[in-house]
Structure 1
Amino acid sequence: MGAAPPAGMGMSEWRNWSGSVVAHPDVIARPRDEAELATIVREARAVRVTGAGHSFMPLCETSGTLVSLDDMAGELIVAPDRQSVDAPAGWSLKRLTQALWAEGLSLPNQGDVNPQSLGGALATGTHGTGRDLGSLATLAQSFRLVTADGSIVDCDTTTNPELFQAQRLSLGLLGIATRARIAVIPALHLEERIERRPLAEVLERLPELAAATRHMEFFLFPYADTVSLKTLHPTEPASLSQGDDDDRVFQACCDFAAKVPRSVPMIQRTLARIMGASHRVGPAWQIFPSERTVRFEEMEYELPVANAVAALREALALLRARKMPLAFPFEFRMVAADDIWLSPFHAGPCASISVHQYAPMPWAAHFAELEAVFRAHGGRPHWAKRHTLTSADVQSLYPKAAAFGAVRKRIDPEGKFMNDHLRQLFDFSL
């Protein structure tokens, strides 16, 4: 799923999961250990690293060396107090959470897919949902990095503390993380319930619903007036009871919508009517993620909680007035505030609104119009999902942008970990 092809000299091709980002690096390297990685980085003129390719922005794009950590050796090390683990940053979240489960441990939260690498999820602020739960980046307690000159550097709150603060959400601009120590909790079982509710009721009761559940989110087809409300509750240990992850009907609907875009409102209202309730119970690492087989493009904005409902209503009104043929549902989640320099959740709890489009269908113009709505309501985008931020925007939206830029310039003065997209965002630190 977006993984790098075998290494080789000459022009290679790499594509992200949705297929919209294409890179042609000179070399796709697959180091087997830290020493080999350090040599690759030291000798490269430009470097980016890839995980599962689940970024919709060209974060991995490079004409130099693209590094995959899939073949790196490493093991999970559980701290004596069992409150943290030291893990290979190249492991997928699926591999990590399965290994944690074998040790009687869980992540406190996850998103709804799990092929991403741990390092990539931390570096981009990947998150799940929960009013009192932060992004995965808030779990990080230390990092081990290979920096631009091939040095191997450790950082935490006492060792290289400024580097650590910047690295907590770094977009891969400071080096390649080989290991990360993250907070964990005792093994968690979850009960998942999905039910159809009127949109008006959910928006009216949103604070109550968010407070009543550890994890709450809803999916909304923009041409329908009902939502699929999803809640996750900790529960007693139980074997996994499976839900219905068959996407064949939705795939067929999207294929028809691509051929007949004007059919989107009718298709969505029909799907909203036939989507029933579901119930699953099982280990958290198996309940958090869902299978995503229908490819899409995505834009996501993190909004101050107080502005989120108004922003959603305005976005829906604009979409309907413009008759935008967006085939996928919106996704609405809650995320706690944090103090991470480049986090879109910096200094305030947020509601996350994700807008999706079926990958073969036009998306850019529609996303741009909706993005203007979210920006007007104080939103900041998810770094790995479609947005049009400029360097000036980064400086105005992130009070600690200059501090991050200073660390970046010190740790990588030649900009080895930059690419064209990142230069446009961080030209103030060049």
Structure 2
Amino acid sequence: MAWKNWSGSVAATASVARPQSEDELAQMIRAARMVRATGAGHSFMPLCDSGELIVSLDALDGTLSIAADRRSARIPAGWSIRRLTAALWDEGLALANQGDVNPQSLAGAMATGTHGTGAELGSLSTFARGFRLIGADGEVRWCDAATDADLFEAQRLSLGLFGIATAIEVAVVPAFHLAERIEKRSWADIRESYDDLAARHRHVEFWLFPYSDDVIVKTLDPCDPCDPPASTTDMDETAFRRVLDVSARLPFLTPWLQRAIMRTDLNGRRRGPAHCIYPSDRTIRFEEMEYEMPRAVGLDALAEVVGWIRRRRLPVTFPFEYRTVAADDIWMSPMNAGPVAAISMHQYARMPWQRLFADAEPIFRSGGGRPHWAKRHTLTRADVDALYPLCDRYRAVRRAADPAGKFLNPHMEALFS
């Protein structure tokens, strides 16, 4: 069966192989001319595309191993965020942060710089402490800050270019509980108070429908131990799905429908183990573009793109999502130039999105934004060179690790060959 991504917009001619052991995976890699790895398919770019071999690690054997000091754990790379956080919880441990969906594989999330929200918290890639990799020659090697340091630095956000990770050593923290609060606030108020909210809460994010003057704000803060919540999601999608289906048939109604849905009661409260509160059910298919903006200009950039949508009365059906992410030192990370405001622009998968994203992208780029590697973007090699001062070093490590380009595909070759 041919591979497709989660939204259905990216397809590959290769079928997916599911090795059950490292030896089987190594044999596949040795024999292949071209190979890419896939996780849950939550990338909207052709990162997993291959005309020959795509491998999934969800059947690969492996166990969780906790370090003696309980500050790190070695985790099978193909495990989903859902599986690994549940396993950590059973050991009294947790990830310091995660995003709002958890089917993604650990390796896939780290390879693309996936993140949650939190002014003092970095992406999942910042949690990496070491990688067990099978290289292009089929040989197993380990890299960390002390062993093959350049390979480790590149592998922290690898885009699948240096080998296939079978295990990842990850920083962990003692298990904790979170209280979630959702409320409606005015867009004008949030523009004035967001920095204060980000300083007062461990996590804060908001959603803004482009035709509404109100936003949906979610905060998460540590709380006393409690049972898991009854609900597995922050907001019920039923009414929103109906709005989207009407907008798909009658796009001119989009502004009215958004204002109507924002007149409803949107307040909510949940409490529970952190790994039960971070993720929410996301069952509506969409396309997404996300730009990481310098945090100082994030709110202005969002206001500019929303104003552009309103002036043109464009049928943008999903709300924008706005989050904060801490700076890091990872070579190809959008956060390596400083803390960012992550602005996610979505469109219902049943509606046109290509022209919409292409026209919006210059607004984000003009403000100094860098795209999330797994979300829709149109970066060229020249753009990568301009945005990432360490890209030549990254390419040099790639050439040394994979001189024949086995882990490239056309999309990766255009940027990193």
TM above 0.5: yes
State the match for 2:287 in structure 1: 297
Q: CA deviation at 1:392?
A: 0.5
Q: Distance in 1 between matches of 2:353 and 2:413?
A: 24
Task: Report the equivalent of 1:8.
Answer: none
1:140-185 alpha-carbon deviations (Å, 9 max, x no partner): 0000001111011100011100000000001001110100000010
Q: What is the CA–CA distance in structure 1 between the aligned matches of 2:23 and 2:229, rounded to whole Å? A: 44
CA shift for structure 1 position 425: 1.6
Task: State yes or no: 1:109 paired with 2:58.
Answer: no
Report the Cα offset of residue 223 of structure 1.
0.5
**What does residue 4 of structure 1 align with?**
none
Question: Which residue of the partner structure matches residue 313 of structure 1?
Answer: 303
* 1:151 correspondence with 2:160: no
- 2:375 matches 1:397: no
> What secondary structure, in the 3-state scheme, does the structure 2 residue paired with 1:142 have?
strand
State the AA in 1 paired with 2:60: M
What is the SS of the residue equivalent to 1:394?
helix
1:168 is matched with which residue: 146, 149, 156?
A: 156
SS at match of 1:14: strand
Q: How far, CA to CA, are the matches of 1:425 and 1:378 in structure 2?
A: 19
Distance 2:17 2:265 in 1: 44
1:347 positional shift: 2.6
**2:408 & 2:268 partners in 1: Cα distance?**
45
Tell me the CA shift for residue 275 of structure 1: 4.0
One of 348, 352, 363 as aligned partner of 2:338 = 348
Question: For 2:4, which of 3, 15, 30 is the aligned residue?
Answer: 15
Deviation of residue 242 (structure 1)? 3.2
Query: After alignment, is 334-343 or 249-258 more displaced?
Result: 249-258
The aligned amino acid for 1:309 is: L
Shift of 1:117: 0.1
Aligned to 1:141: 129
Are 1:259 and 2:258 an aligned pair?
no
Amino acid at match of 1:281: R
TM-score normalised by structure 1 residue count: 0.95
Question: Aligned Cα RMSD in Å?
Answer: 0.9
C-alpha distance after superposition, 1:386-420 (max 9, x if no partner): 00000100011001101100000110011111111
Query: Structure 1 stretches of 5 or more lacking a match?
Result: 1-11
Equivalent residue number for residue 363 of structure 2:
373
- Three-state SS of the structure 1 residue aligned to 2:262 is helix
The answer to whether residue 69 in structure 2 is matched with residue 118 in structure 1 is no
Calculate percent identity across the aligned residue pairs.
56
Q: What residue identity is the alignment partner of 1:19?
A: G
Q: Deviations over 1:55-86 (max 9, x none)?
A: 00010111010101111000000001111000
> Letter of the aligned partner of 2:184 in structure 1?
R
Aligned to 2:115: 127
Q: 2:239 aligns with which of 232, 245, 249?
A: 249
Structure 1 residue identity aligned to 2:239: V
> Residue type of the partner of 2:371?
P
How many positions carry a matched residue from both structures? 415
Q: How many angstroms does 1:322 deviate by?
A: 1.5
Q: Secondary structure at the match of 1:24?
A: strand
SS in 1 for 2:50: coil
Q: What is the match of residue 44 of structure 2?
A: 56
Please, which of 182, 198, 203 is the counterpart of residue 186 of structure 2? 198
- Which 5+ residue runs of structure 2 have no aligned equivalent? none
Task: Tell me what 1:9 maps to.
Answer: none
C-alpha separation in 2, matches of 1:80 and 1:406: 36
Output the CA distance in 2 between the equivalents of 1:238 and 1:395: 49
Residue 245 of structure 1 and its aligned partner are, at CA, apart by 4.3
Q: Which amino acid aligns with 2:325?
A: V
Structure 1 residue 28: Cα displacement: 2.2
How far is 1:293 from its partner? 0.6
TM-score, normalising length: structure 2: 0.98
Aligned pair partner of 2:373 in 358, 377, 383: 383
Q: Distance in 2 between matches of 1:184 and 1:32?
A: 27
